[in-house]
Copies of this chain bind each other. A is one copy, B any other.
């Protein structure tokens, strides 16, 4: 079996780790994804770098922490100059193609400053986070009183729907993400109550099958070697799914929320603000969970079925032999756990994601079906891909580490002893509620296998969870005097991380080591008193030279 030539990098959006049967869901059977896990390595401690789509993805696509690339919230552009997966892979002869979502916001100002035209090859790649675009589909055409959050986010998919006969100015909303009542009224998927209805769309035309087909179309015409980022919008909200998936699960499949009254009553003020948002209050209600979670499960079931179709097709076409398949998510979804909805906090519910890597190469035969609890971060994918493409990992730019040693059975863990996750809520309504300054509306999570510490800027005490004895993260020990030593040790890790030289990206470690002493050999002579006190070789160019007296120069 040859080394993988190509990489199929599948990302789901807002897919919780524990909502796959291979990760232990009791009701939701995902045999196709499970099958991939049985042929690859399934990571149980894969953490994302930020619990929000855009920032998590920018970390994955740059291989760098949010603190390093700065795109710390949805809509904050990734600044021009940041290197991406595409930059690294194309240098190695591998294309980097997008089919689906990135949540990339281009740095239009920076591009203009550097004269990069958005329609030039380089400009387009900069604007698309380093990918060449087969299809960009951010899966959103919301409409509000001030216009749309992302008018182009579902443009091609909307065109597809209209061509297929779904007649509307916004078929993404009216068909794919809404149900219909008997009178022909659109029941918007934005209203959680409507999650129980089937989306008013032929299942084959809904977003997940559409993107699967687009992925196959890409692969059929692609020139190897390629990385294809097949990036699904689902199971991200709006929570609504077409038949038959809308009725596969019901309230009886909804697990009780992971939460406690004490957790709410004693919550750290910042965490409490997240609980007390409209979202938190809503997802704490049984009627919301009972409506939404079955739809969420249906969306995942549909994803799994699509994975079945995709993997079968890859198998039939021989591509399973030479294609590495990575399947992951950009973050989870609280779904009412810990009195929250959405994803924007640091419990494992949101920050630990599924990660399955299938490597077709012989070297990986020893690890097929392995479950690995290594401390992994999503920034590890970029270096993994660079190695698959045959390159050396540029450790001065990419901050993660390649997972190939684990995939090939040469290692059982990464070299790190902690993971980092960050959340910047300075642009979110919660900062307004809490009246938090932009500088202070920032949080960091540092976790190892035993402990998770969350630091909120603004003079707050930390939050601490004992992951070993309280894996559900229900008891915050952040003000426990007994844990002062643990807290200090976790802060030390965060401090060491914060000091890392993340911006020294223009010289590699090897180049820096090579620089040592180089200036001396290029004529910089320091601390040398006279011609006799040092190495002849270094100063030979300054000896035996002759010159005229300057007073004779000006005359002629």
List A residues at the B interface (Cβ < 8 Å). Answer: 67-83, 87, 107, 109-110, 113-116, 120, 122, 126, 142-149, 164-168, 173-175, 178, 180, 184-186, 188, 190-194, 200-202, 205, 237, 277-283, 285, 287-288, 291, 341-342, 424, 426-429, 431-432, 438-439, 442, 444, 455, 457, 491, 494-495, 498-507, 509, 511-513, 515-531, 534, 537-551, 553-554, 556
- Indicate if the CB atoms of A145 and B541 lie closer than 8 Å: yes
Number of copies: 2
* A526 and B279 within 8 A (CB): yes
Asked whether A542 lies within 8 Å of B504 as measured between CB atoms, the reply is no
- Which of A74, A146, A277, A491 is packed against the most chain B CB atoms within 10 Å? A146
Q: Give the distance in Å from the alpha carbon of A500 to the alpha carbon of B499 in the complex.
A: 11
A442: B residues at CB distance < 8 A:
499, 501
Q: Which residue of B lies closest to A150 (CB)?
A: B522
Output the least CB separation between A390 and chain B (Å): 19
- Contacting pair B79 A503 (CB below 8 A): yes
> Which chain B residue shows the least CB distance to A72?
B504
Cα–Cα, bound, A78→B444 (Å): 28
Q: With contacts A201-B550, A506-B77 known, is A540 near B145, CB below 8 A? A: yes
A191: B residues at CB distance < 8 A: 525, 528-531, 539, 542
Minimum distance in angstroms from A444 CB to a CB of chain B: 7
Beyond A174-B545, A190-B528, A191-B525: 11 further Cβ-contacts under 8 Å?
A: A75-B507, A79-B506, A114-B114, A145-B537, A147-B523, A149-B524, A174-B547, A180-B547, A193-B529, A442-B501, A495-B495
- Contact check, A457 vs B516: say whether CB atoms are below 8 A apart: no
**Do A523 and B174 form a contact, CB below 8 Å, given A200-B547, A432-B516?**
no
Q: Are A110 and B122 in contact (CB under 8 A)?
A: no
With a CB–CB cut-off of 8 A, which chain B residues contact A428? 515-516
Closest to A287 in B: B529
Contacts of A142 in B (CB 8 A): 522-525
Give every chain B residue within 8 A of A503 (Cβ-Cβ).
Answer: 67-70, 79, 503
Report the Cα distance A341→B502, complex, angstroms: 30
Expressed in whole angstroms, the Cα–Cα distance for A235 and B383 within the complex equals 46
What's the Cα separation between A107 and B521 when bound, in Å?
Answer: 23
A506 & B109 in contact (Cβ 8 Å cutoff): yes
**Nearest CB to that of A488 among chain B residues?**
B488
| A-B contacts, 22 listed (Cβ < 8 Å) | A67-B503, A73-B515, A79-B506, A109-B506, A113-B122, A143-B522, A144-B522, A144-B523, A144-B541, A146-B521, A149-B522, A164-B553, A168-B547, A184-B549, A185-B544, A191-B531, A278-B534, A288-B527, A342-B527, A428-B516, A432-B517, A438-B512
Select which of B77, B427, B432, B516 is within 8 A of A427 by beta carbon. Answer: B516
Residues of B within 8 A of A70 (CB): 501-506
**A430, closest chain B residue (CB):** B516
Residue contact B188 to A542, C-beta cutoff 8 Å: yes
In this complex, the member of A190, A455, A543 whose beta carbon has the largest number of chain B beta carbons within 10 angstroms is: A190
User: Nearest Cβ distance between residue A252 and chain B, in whole angstroms?
Assistant: 21
Please state if A553 and B166 are interface contacts (CB–CB under 8 Å): yes
Please measure, in the bound complex, the distance between the C-alpha atom of A107 and the C-alpha atom of B115, giving whole angstroms. 17
Contact A499 B278 (CB under 8 A): no
Contact in complex: A282, B522 (CB < 8 Å):
no
Cβ-defined contact, B457 with A542, below 8 A: no
CA distance A79 to B81 in the complex (A): 8
B553 near A427 (CB under 8 angstroms)?
no
Q: Which of A166, A513, A523 has the most CB of B within 10 A?
A: A523
Q: Return the chain B residue nearest A146 by Cβ.
A: B521
Residue of B nearest to A455 (CB): B499
Contact B543 A188 (CB under 8 A): yes
**Residue from the list B80, B341, B491, B519 in contact with A149, Cβ < 8 A:** B519
Q: CB < 8 Å: which of B114, B122, B186, B444 contacts A545?
A: B186
Give bound CA distance, A534 to B518, whole Å.
Answer: 67
Q: Which residue from B82, B114, B499, B542 sits with its C-beta under 8 Å from A116?
A: B114
* A110-B81, A495-B498, A501-B67 given; A527·B283 CB < 8 A: yes
Q: How far is the CA of A500 from the CA of B437 in the complex (A)?
A: 13
A519 partner residues in chain B, CB cutoff 8 A? 74-75, 149
Do A167 and B537 contact each other (CB < 8 Å), given the known contacts A522-B146, A553-B202?
A: no
Query: Could you tell me the distance in whole angstroms from the C-beta of A105 to the nearest C-beta in chain B?
Result: 8
